[in-house]
Amino acid sequence: MLKEFRDFVMRGNVLDLAVAVIIGSAFGKIITSFVNDIIMPPIGLLLGDVDFSNLFFNLSGTPIASLAEAQEAGAPTINYGLFLNTVIDFVIVGLVIFLVVRVANRMRRPTPAPTTRECPYCLSMVPLKASRCAHCTSELKAA
């Protein structure tokens, strides 16, 4: 059973998937930091000095000044500012993945259409449009 597990884990697809998950996790942290620390502060400044991570609806009825204070008091809140940060985070990750896949697809070279085929009699390569083999002179069926 250990040998089967080792063979399973050492297969290329499993290792590729593991590497992708680890790199994706690290990339997600970078994007989250990018959104929270670089993108959202200027947007908040443009919207009148708003800190999106501190936007919330207080459901407790008692006045609370900040989200940290509400969490410390255990007050129920709807944290729509954090949700907005997460949505923007997701959109940026989706955009980056789209761009990476787009570049990867452009880098793939299309397989050229075949221009020759094999003669079924002498196994020589002949042009697709040939009606006779140039090597054995056998009649060929139309391609």
pLDDT digits (tens, 9 = 90+) for 48-68: 877 777 888 888 888 888 888
Burial of residue 40, with CB atoms counted within 10 A of its CB: 0-12 exposed, 13-18 middle, 19 or more buried:
buried
pLDDT at 12: 66
Q: Name the average pLDDT for the chain.
A: 85
Q: Are residues 67 and 126 in the same domain?
A: no
pLDDT of residue 20: 84
Please give the residue range of the domain that contains residue 122: 113-143
Q: Is 71 in a helix, a strand, or coil? A: helix
Q: Do 37 and 11 lie in a common domain?
A: yes
**What tokens does 70 get?**
């509400």
- Shared domain for 85 and 119, answered yes or no, is no
Q: Dihedral sign, CA of 81, 82, 83, 86?
A: positive
Domain identity same for 79 and 100 = yes
